[in-house]
Amino acid sequence: MKPTVRPRSLAALMLVLALLAALAVACGQRKTDHNEDKKANLGAWGRALSAIAVADEGGDPSWFGGQRKADAEAVLAQLSADWAVTDRASLIRSMNFYLRSGDREEYLYDSDVLARLQQLPEEEREQQLAGLSEEGALHYELVAYCAERWNGRGLLAWDMAQYAQLAQLGYLARLLSHEEAQAAIEPAAAIVRQYFTGWEEVCQNILDGYALHSLSSPEQSDGAYQRWAAAYSALLEAEDPKAPLFDDGLFEADLLPLEGLSSSDFMK
């Protein structure tokens, strides 16, 4: 005779199974919670763009903002010291600088100067270069390196990475709302999608931009560039294939903005 399950036992079993299923869903949500609007993908763009800088500073690149528990006053002090940002207006001005011109404008000017130097007779060119300081010589060496590698694209991804980091720091400092910080990412993501094909290329541009910014040659055995490169390598090794930080699928998908809010509403 086959054993039977009593109604109460069956009900209890179903309740246990339902609780286990709910727990599994909750655990999965906690695991994949990135502190961003789940109907949009701008948070994912922002996290990936700022990931190397956030990791280098000991933050959490998987979390929009980079810090799960932030001291708003301390973040504002950091913004003031590193970016001359003291309030919402100066934050938006700094963000617009990186969006509209950024470090790439100076790089393109220097790259044009270098191109003109290359056209001079060798003796005259050497005289011009000999007058440079050690830092000046390294600067133009890195300009030549970036020009050969990136040509007209310049340091676009580097500027957009700084823009994305500013947006998230602005959120942590309570200068932008959580929704505004995500919405602000849209123009930067649009530029990156237009000029680059995937995150490997984007991250290399960010690293090269940092090399020029910090005057740290990629050919050195150690230095600022190598520290950022190591942070990037560590992020790649720690990638979760089910929820990658550097998701190339973002380049194939449409940009999904936040409902009812655009960067143009406040980035003026």
pLDDT along the chain (268 residues), means of 10: 50 51 44 85 98 97 96 98 98 98 92 86 83 88 92 93 98 98 98 98 98 93 93 97 96 96 93
Helices vs. strands in the chain: H and E counts, helices first: 13, 0
Q: What is the structure's pLDDT at 262?
A: 96
Amino acid 12: pLDDT: 55
pLDDT at residue 25, rounded to an integer: 42
Whole-angstrom Cα Rg for the chain: 24
Predicted local distance difference test score (pLDDT) of residue 24:
44
Q: Is 115 helix (H, G, I), strand (E, B) or coil?
A: helix
> What is the predicted pLDDT for the residue at 268?
82
* Cβ neighbours of residue 67 closer than 8 Å, sequence gap 6 or more: 59, 60, 75, 172
The CA distances from residue 219 to 123, 147, 163, 216, in Å, are 27, 16, 27, 9
- pLDDT at position 88 is 98
Give Cβ neighbours of residue 54 (< 8 Å, ≥ 6 apart): 60, 61, 66, 165, 168
Q: Residue 122 has what pLDDT?
A: 84
Q: How many CA atoms are closer than 13 Å to the CA of 67, on its beta-carbon side?
A: 17
Q: Is there a contact between 215 and 139 (Cβ–Cβ < 8 Å)?
A: yes
Tokens of 20: 């286990």
Give the span between the Cα atoms of 126 and 241, in whole angstroms: 51
- CB 47 within 8 Å of CB 245: yes
pTM: 0.85
The pLDDT score that the predictor gives to residue 13 is 52
The three-class DSSP label of residue 155 is: coil
Q: Which of 78, 42, 55, 80 is nearest to 164 (CA)?
A: 42
Which of 257, 213, 264 shows the shortest CA–CA distance to 44?
A: 257
Check residue 130 and give its pLDDT. 82
Closest of 212, 254, 207 to residue 235, by C-alpha: 207
